[in-house]
Structure 1
Amino acid sequence: MKHIVYYLTLLFAMTQFANAQPTKKPLRVGVVGLVHSHVHGILNKAFKQTGQTDIEIVGIAEPNRELAERFAKQHGYPMSLVYATVAEMLEKTKPEAVTDFGRIVDHKKTVELCAPRGIHVMVEKPLATSYADAQQMAALAKKNNIQLLTNYETTWYGSNHKAYAIANTEKSIGDLRKIVVHDGHEGPKEINVNKEFLDWLTDPATNGAGALFDFGCYGANLSTWLMHNQRPISVMAVTQQIKPDIYPKVDDEGTIILTYPKTQTIIQASWNWPFARKDMEVYGQTGYVFTVDGTRMRIRLKGDKNEQQTEATASDAPATDPFAYFAKLIHGETKADELTSLENNIIVMEILDAARQSAKTGKAVNLSQRAQVR
């Protein structure tokens, strides 16, 4: 009987201790804009995933009331969360961080409003529509000591991180010689993106370009990472309007060539692939590693008679999703990943800006003659 009383007392004490432990509060997040279809990821996480404690959406800034109501019905959030302007949402809800799902050209405005308030920012890729805007955003972030991240779907692919480890940490394929990145799909209209997304995505003023920016940014991001944030010597790009009847204002096909001292990167960005794809090929002096998708990979090392197929796991990536990572970063539980880093994405914007210039003039842009801005 004494033993039973002892164990019951111990169990009660342990329960009380556990209940007394402070619960980590979720990151208070404001959502800026609903016109980028990637917003469904954070809305699903916040309002449909039971038991998730990483983030709490405290406000949504969206002037298009009809769009906000449509998504409210789809995701189940109350319209009381919706504000007409970013400034009002920030003042009324006091978020710790915001995630921007607006037009790319508006990313700068978001940082201008958030940085002086000490509010961290994560934008969807790419960082900006111009290198000049990206530089100003970076200066604001550094001055106000906030995190300014760019979210790419491919950052959360375990395969990319395993490929990086094979190429750069383990150095299993020798010095890098060629990187080839393929990204895109059949086209935004062809895959039936919603009208609000299509309108700005196919406007060079609001998106920066067409497929060149929409999907070229992935390759620039990955190449910069694999090359340890080294700027390329030169950038050469060719764009086409294969479907001018559908995309009269922007390119739907883009190829970018980056030259480094002993490496070359080819970025193939397209709204004309027969199927959606986000994969890459990394060739070294003695072997290669290919990513097929987020998990599947193909590898051939020195001495191998045939290539091997392998798979990465979720643990190879820094987090399961960008918002869990964002919360951990701001709560001091992890350090910034190079793929989402500001340093990387300033170089990405320099590459994209130069690619746009090269495609227009038909000439390569020599970056080695420019001073690097940090």
Structure 2
Amino acid sequence: MKPIKLGMVGSGDISNRFFEQAAKLEQVSFVATCARHLDNAEKKAKVYGIPRWYDDYLRMMDEEELDAVVVTTPHSVHAEVVMAALERGLHVLNEKPMATTFEDCKRMVELAEANNKTLMNLPYDLNPSFMSAIPYVSEEVIGKITGAEAQLNIPGPGRDNWYYNKEISHGGAILDCMVYPISRLISMLGPAQSVMAEVNTIIPKRIVNGGKQIQSDVDDNATVILTFTGGQHAVIRTLWGTSIKQNNTLIYGRKGTIAVNDGGFPLVVHSPLAPIPDAESVTWRGYSDCYAPKLLPSIDSERDIMSHFVHCLRTGEQPKPSGRLQLHVHEIMFAAYQSAESGQRCTLTTTFEPWNKLDPHIFDTKSNYI
């Protein structure tokens, strides 16, 4: 088995999970770290036993014999690092969001395809709850799809840093949090057709960790309506202003409903017409005729982010969170900003080949009586 050598660009807390996941994989290692401040790169390298560190990612890419880089920098730096790596023939695992402009997202995908390199962009949706829900998105279980909703609501980031500075972040709750529910719905249901949105800053004067008072000029309140091929609407919500965290996904069908991470259950199927085999009968949101299926075990290549990325490097397979899929997700986010500003519906221009192939008839609610 050929060893895979990785470089890390970014030394914040988010980088830790990639070091820890890689350490569990056979013949996979980080050989260098890079951060804007050399002492931060050194500290991170010493924590994880990495031999070399840099404060110049171009130098790291040119001097080290790397197979791929992982990018965990602040949002506004993603594009320049990713494109530099792809230009040098390196594969890339890129944190969310892909970039802070749709044009940069497109350039990244086109460059990866032109150079025949793997570009895996987060979010990574392949957790047991999500993957276990996929088989139930069928006409046999829930009937024709009639709509969907998903949300990620939190009190807001507690740190006083670039999150609340639009000049640095180039976006707030949409790019940082709404990317998750959008990605889940698009991965589950396939490409959308159009976007309408309302986006604003509802809390410009915030109190963050330690009681510090700060000024925020980023979006922290966003609602998006996606329209799918059959006219179905999906409502997606992100709010940095709740006292609780909500991170759920619901798929509505004419005969049933699928709920992921809702009401204390990792997965529930409401199926009033027939029981779900091999599932526990439960009460969900006060409803009977609900079933909690057993979660599917993760397969080795989809156990976590790094295992999936490394699997794709070794096999040449496209990642499930592929460049084209995440380009579509990101067009939705940038179209949400555009729709909110203009007050108009935005038609989407991108598409992708879904890895989760639904029967297209599941969206056809008009041909027959249902």
Query: What's the counterpart of residue 270 of structure 2?
Result: 300
Query: What's the counterpart of residue 233 of structure 1?
Result: 194
Q: Judge conservation of contact 1:289–1:300 (CA < 8 Å) in 2.
A: yes
| Deviation readout 1:302-343 (Å, 9 max, x if unpaired) | 41552122342342795111111111101007x3343x1111
1:156 to 126, 134, 147: 126
Query: What's the counterpart of residue 176 of structure 1?
Result: 145
Query: What's the counterpart of residue 31 of structure 1?
Result: 8
Letter in 2 for 1:271: W
Query: What's the counterpart of residue 92 of structure 1?
Result: 63
Q: Judge conservation of contact 1:241–1:247 (CA < 8 Å) in 2.
A: no
Cα RMSD for the two superposed structures = 2.5
Q: Judge conservation of contact 1:319–1:325 (CA < 8 Å) in 2.
A: yes
Q: Judge conservation of contact 1:122–1:150 (CA < 8 Å) in 2.
A: yes
How many angstroms apart in 2 are the aligned matches of 1:284 and 1:367?
25
Superposed displacement of residue 69, structure 1: 4.1
How many angstroms apart in 2 are the aligned matches of 1:52 and 1:302?
44
2:170 to 208, 211, 235: 208
Q: Name the CA shift for 1:372/1:327 in 2 (closer, same or farther; >3 Å).
A: closer
Q: Secondary structure at the match of 1:265?
A: strand
Letter in 1 for 2:267: M
Query: What's the counterpart of residue 345 of structure 2?
Result: 365
Superposed displacement of residue 122, structure 1: 1.0
| Deviation readout 1:123-169 (Å, 9 max, x if unpaired) | 1112111211111111111111111111224x13111122222104x
Query: What's the counterpart of residue 77 of structure 1?
Result: 49
How many angstroms apart in 2 are the aligned matches of 1:372 and 1:45?
32
Q: Judge conservation of contact 1:115–1:141 (CA < 8 Å) in 2.
A: yes
How many angstroms apart in 2 are the aligned matches of 1:142 and 1:347?
16
Superposition map of 1:231-310 within 5 A: 231-245=192-206, 246=214, 248-260=216-228, 261-292=230-261, 296-304=266-274, 306-310=289-293
| Deviation readout 1:226-274 (Å, 9 max, x if unpaired) | 222x232233233332253345121222221112232111111122232
Letter in 2 for 1:91: D
How many angstroms apart in 1 are the aligned matches of 2:255 and 2:35?
52
The answer on 1:336 being equivalent to 2:315 is no
TM value normalised by structure 2? 0.81
1:325 to 291, 295, 308: 308
Q: Judge conservation of contact 1:296–1:311 (CA < 8 Å) in 2.
A: no
Q: Judge conservation of contact 1:212–1:239 (CA < 8 Å) in 2.
A: no
More strand by share: 2
Q: Judge conservation of contact 2:21–2:307 (CA < 8 Å) in 1.
A: no
Give the % identical residues: 22
How many angstroms apart in 2 are the aligned matches of 1:145 and 1:25?
19
The answer on 1:45 being equivalent to 2:21 is yes
Superposed displacement of residue 114, structure 1: 1.3
How many angstroms apart in 1 are the aligned matches of 2:170 and 2:128?
29
How many angstroms apart in 2 are the aligned matches of 1:283 and 1:355?
23
2:183 to 210, 221, 225: 221
Query: What's the counterpart of residue 337 of structure 2?
Result: 356
Letter in 2 for 1:27: I
Structure 2 runs not aligned, ≥5 long: 207-213, 275-287, 353-370
Letter in 2 for 1:174: G
How many angstroms apart in 2 are the aligned matches of 1:287 and 1:171?
10
TM value normalised by structure 1? 0.80
Higher CA-based Rg: 1
How many angstroms apart in 2 are the aligned matches of 1:351 and 1:327?
28
How many angstroms apart in 1 are the aligned matches of 2:301 and 2:25?
18
Query: What's the counterpart of residue 101 of structure 1?
Result: 72
Q: Secondary structure at the match of 2:85?
A: helix
Q: Secondary structure at the match of 1:313?
A: coil
How many angstroms apart in 1 are the aligned matches of 2:351 and 2:94?
21
How many angstroms apart in 2 are the aligned matches of 1:275 and 1:218?
17
Q: Secondary structure at the match of 2:235?
A: strand
Q: Judge conservation of contact 2:127–2:298 (CA < 8 Å) in 1.
A: no
Equivalent pairs, count: 330
